[in-house]
Structure 1
Amino acid sequence: MNLTADPATAAPSRTAPALVVEGLTKRFGTRTAFENVSFSVNHGEVFGFLGPNGAGKTTTVRTLGTLIAPTSGHATVAGLPLIPQNGVEIRRRIAIMPEAPGLYLRLSVAENLSYFAGLYELTDGPARIERALRAVNLLDRADELCRSLSKGLRQRVGLARALLSDPTVLFLDEPTSGLDPVAAGTVHDLIDALRNRGVTIFLTTHRLAEAERLCDRVAIMNTTLRLVGTPDELREQLFSKRLEIRTREPLADPERVLAGLAGVESWHRADDGAYVLAVADPGLVAPDAARALVAAGADVLSLSPSQYSLEDVYLRLIDTDVEAQNR
């Protein structure tokens, strides 16, 4: 008996990355959707894919999900090479939740999931439906028609549908688009729970605070890939660290007090009145700054490190309206 697993159907290794993309390009005639994109995503990671409208994010998801073929380049998805003959098996290992969940509004929640379980050819459909509804806290709404649900609840049904096949990689395309903060927070909690279960999540979003909260690493895309890393790594690559000082009254001569401090690269006064110092190491500069401020007779209200947001990083890298260019 041959006990060697068929590479086309063997379970993906947990030691290899869940996604590997090398030089992937997709063109539609003369228009380039994305070009020479390379990155990898680890198992159990929430990987954020950020960029403006028209930057190629959704096309990348559709390509990795085997819905459209790349023009050039290579990828491995859930342990399988992204080639046509592996399309069916890749789709068994992944799930894609688009921005619009595509539910049948005249059917109940359970009927929708039962229909899609049939498309997946799942033999234990009822048990999987129950698990999926429990995962998104909708078991008590199983018999309600989808047309009676709020948009936030429909998004949760869409997420339950994506979980039916126990995917190794879950692609979420703008899962909180149009949701109020409470509904979006519920989706965030579900994503955290899936990460804790070891599901790899590929998340596209325009909400930069959402990406900062959820993602282990992010990629910033604008047709080509600009940067990949943790939010902290991207901040360190693009910006100096900052020390923020607040005083009861404005300093009489801030240039004399602040510019002469060792380790201060530059300083400016923010719109809210705080003095913001660009420094190499906030921990080393802060004690000297405190002493200099006291010596200058300042009443110090606060002195603390501050950091640039992921939005600051994004805006530094993305300054082009891609959709307008392609019109």
Structure 2
Amino acid sequence: MSGVTAHSNVAIEARALVKEFEKGRHTLWQRVRREPDRRTTFRAVDGIDLAVETGEIFGLLGPNGAGKTTTMRMISTLLEPTAGTIRVLGTDVAKEPRRVRAQLGAMLSGERSLYWKLTGRENLEYFAALYHVPPKDTKDRVERSLAAVKLSDRADDYVERYSTGMRQRLALARALLPDPPLILLDEPTVGLDPQASRDLRDRVRDLRAQGRTVLLTTHYMEEADQLCDRVAIIDHGKIVALDSPNALKRTIRAEEIVRLDIGIAGDGDGAAIVDRLSRAGTVARSERHNGTLSLTVHCASARELVPAAFDAAHAAGATVQHVEVVPVTLEDVFLSLTGRGLRE
């Protein structure tokens, strides 16, 4: 299932969501001198329709600057939409922002402030007071939050002694203090090593097992593929595809992906190679840089395409420098939809 639906089981519903920012300045001095206003408007989010169902892990996948964080900040009431509506657990974000905030826990980029000179437990006790957790419930909430992120055994260590991954987990514990049914995670594994990333993803799966709804943003295709029940691919402020990871990958009419780096001699542009490989598969990407032609080809069989690539390179006086055969990924879906990679 994809797209926005009128369903009682919807945790987050956004319709025609738009956010515009002004670029440039028009200072008081410029106004006094009656200089023209040269400010322009930049549309960071451009008409998003979105429905996140209760109990699922839903991912917003896209490159940096695509509009993911802006969307997350509007849902969490930190930014006011230019146009459109958002309902969180049935509550209108614009009309009742305080009620919305009481029902969600958020770990947003730039908002991971922890006090390094306090212990993990002291940090959570402090934030519990800020979040108006009833004093009689504070000890239990802190213990449960620490246990949820597997930090109970390090709760009384100073945060300055924590690894980066442990600090991320403590930030997640902080988001769990109000015992919210909805968790928002903005790029939760950025800057973590592979082991810490796997550990945090396990904690996110635990949240779903507890019946919570999780909305996360990421530009890591593997994270979205492994973790999310459904994914919305976002680019230039628009959702360009929305479905389960497997369903999105099935839109690529190929069994395998072949990535090639071919050294081109002299002033050749590799057009003959691209043309020949286009007969054996679908050339999804072709770039020439510093004498190297980089190709991504979707094909039914790499066993047939790779020899054809060597033959085509030899005929053009070129050399195959690197060959990689990989299964279809969400990166390939993004590439087919936008013409460029997620990390560009």
* Pairwise TM-score range, normalised by the shorter structure: 0.7 to 0.9
Letter in structure 2 aligned against 1:212: D
Query: Which residue of 6, 15, 22 maps to 1:22?
Result: 15
Q: 1:85-107, CA deviations, whole angstroms, 9 ceiling, x for partnerless residues?
A: 41111001011102352111111
Are the aligned partners of 1:168 and 1:199 in contact in 2 as well (CA < 8 Å)?
yes
Q: Show structure 1 runs of 5+ residues with no match.
A: 1-13, 245-264, 270-274, 280-288, 290-305
Query: Which residue of 117, 130, 133 maps to 1:122?
Result: 133
Q: TM-score normalised to the size of structure 2?
A: 0.70
Specify the alignment match of 2:336 in structure 1.
316
Letter in structure 2 aligned against 1:146: V
Specify the alignment match of 1:132 in structure 2.
145
What is the Cα deviation at residue 277 of structure 1? 5.0
What is the Cα deviation at residue 206 of structure 1? 1.5
What is the Cα deviation at residue 278 of structure 1? 3.1
Specify the alignment match of 1:5 in structure 2.
none
Structure 2 matches for 1:28-67, cutoff 5 A?
28-29=21-22, 30-67=41-78
CA distance in 1, matches of 2:184, 2:247: 24
CA distance in 2, matches of 1:108, 1:200: 29
TM superposition outliers: structure 1 runs of 4+ over 6 Å = 320-324
Q: Show structure 2 runs of 5+ residues with no match.
A: 1-6, 23-40, 258-278, 284-296, 305-325
Q: 1:9-44, CA deviations, whole angstroms, 9 ceiling, x for partnerless residues?
A: xxxxx9420011110000113111111000101111
CA distance in 2, matches of 1:143, 1:242: 51
Are the aligned partners of 1:75 and 1:81 in contact in 2 as well (CA < 8 Å)?
yes
Specify the alignment match of 2:196 in structure 1.
183
CA distance in 1, matches of 2:341, 2:205: 32
Specify the alignment match of 1:73 in structure 2.
84
The question of 1:93 aligning with 2:79 is answered no
Root mean square deviation, CA, Å: 2.9
CA distance in 1, matches of 2:90, 2:21: 27
Are the aligned partners of 1:47 and 1:217 in contact in 2 as well (CA < 8 Å)?
yes
Matched residue of 2:211: which SS?
coil
CA distance in 2, matches of 1:322, 1:224: 15
Query: Which residue of 156, 167, 170 maps to 1:157?
Result: 170
The question of 1:226 aligning with 2:240 is answered yes
Letter in structure 2 aligned against 1:168: P
CA distance in 1, matches of 2:62, 2:185: 15
CA distance in 2, matches of 1:38, 1:277: 33
Are the aligned partners of 1:174 and 1:206 in contact in 2 as well (CA < 8 Å)?
yes
Q: 1:224-256, CA deviations, whole angstroms, 9 ceiling, x for partnerless residues?
A: 11111111222233x214279xxxxxxxxxxxx
Q: 1:264-308, CA deviations, whole angstroms, 9 ceiling, x for partnerless residues?
A: x95589xxxxx98539xxxxxxxxx9xxxxxxxxxxxxxxxx851
Q: 1:31-77, CA deviations, whole angstroms, 9 ceiling, x for partnerless residues?
A: 11111000101111111101111111111111000011000001111
CA distance in 1, matches of 2:109, 2:163: 15
Letter in structure 2 aligned against 1:21: A
Are the aligned partners of 2:331 and 2:342 in contact in 1 as well (CA < 8 Å)?
no
Q: TM-score normalised to the size of structure 1?
A: 0.73
> Structure 1 residues 321 and 211 mapped into 2: Cα distance closer, same or farther (>3 Å)?
closer
CA distance in 1, matches of 2:55, 2:114: 27
- Percent of residue pairs identical: 41
CA distance in 2, matches of 1:168, 1:87: 16
CA distance in 2, matches of 1:323, 1:179: 17
Are the aligned partners of 2:61 and 2:218 in contact in 1 as well (CA < 8 Å)?
yes
Are the aligned partners of 2:10 and 2:53 in contact in 1 as well (CA < 8 Å)?
yes
What is the Cα deviation at residue 322 of structure 1? 11
Specify the alignment match of 1:302 in structure 2.
none
CA distance in 2, matches of 1:189, 1:321: 27
Are the aligned partners of 1:26 and 1:72 in contact in 2 as well (CA < 8 Å)?
yes
Are the aligned partners of 2:256 and 2:300 in contact in 1 as well (CA < 8 Å)?
yes
Q: How many residues align?
A: 261
Q: 1:129-162, CA deviations, whole angstroms, 9 ceiling, x for partnerless residues?
A: 0000011111111111111111000001001001
The question of 1:104 aligning with 2:115 is answered yes
Q: 1:168-221, CA deviations, whole angstroms, 9 ceiling, x for partnerless residues?
A: 211111111111111111101101111111111111111111110000110111
CA distance in 2, matches of 1:148, 1:210: 27
Specify the alignment match of 1:278 in structure 2.
300
CA distance in 1, matches of 2:298, 2:138: 58
Are the aligned partners of 1:37 and 1:225 in contact in 2 as well (CA < 8 Å)?
yes
Query: Which residue of 178, 195, 217 maps to 1:204?
Result: 217
CA distance in 2, matches of 1:97, 1:309: 27
CA distance in 2, matches of 1:174, 1:21: 20
